Amino acid sequence: DLKVDDQDILRQYDLGHQWDGTSKQPGLRKSVPPQQLFIERSIQFLKPGGMAGIVTPDSILTNPSEKFIRYWILRHAKVIASVKLPRATFEPDTPTKTHLMLFERRSQPINDIAKSNHKTFTAEAKVVGSDSNNDPVFLRTQEGDKILGSDGEPLLDDDLPAIIKAFKEWY
């Protein structure tokens, strides 16, 4: 629920300005969630061709009102991967739906993102080895018994290792 409303700070960011959906307009926004400015600054810190991974709120990638943020990202970076994470990922501390994004800074912003033929790896993790109380979740047989690994320990029910493997093969 934090907002950045200092006009001197907002002036430093494209995303601190008014947008009509795909272009920056004159005037500053009254306030901006810090995660929006964080995305812009993360990309600015990269050298052209540099890569970064960040966790973003789901709303940045899905809300129609935040289309301008997606547009800004696509103009300035190639989205290499987007992995939707389950709500339990950061619970019980926060119930926010999130995505893990991996992007590469472009050497120059592009104007026509529709002509960019860049491909993006996408995946969805349904489970990440713990529940909303941060208790471990284990793989189980149809009878409900825990599945044990070669070391005799129960295996966590976690989609991330398979997603990482699939991403490495794709990349």
Percent of the chain at pLDDT > 70 equals 99
- Strand partners of residue 54: 101
Determine the Cα–Cα distance for residues 43 and 24; give it in Å rounded to an integer: 17
pTM for the structure as a whole: 0.87
- The tokens of 99 are what? 């995505």
Is residue 78 a contact partner of residue 52, using CB atoms and an 8 Å limit?
no
Please tell me the predicted confidence (pLDDT) of residue 105.
97
Q: How far is CA 113 from the centre of its chain?
A: 19
pLDDT band at 22 (very low <50, low <70, confident <90, very high): confident
Query: Which amino acid makes up residue 131?
Result: D
Please tell me the predicted confidence (pLDDT) of residue 155.
95
pLDDT-wise least confident of 70-79, 85-94, 104-113? 85-94
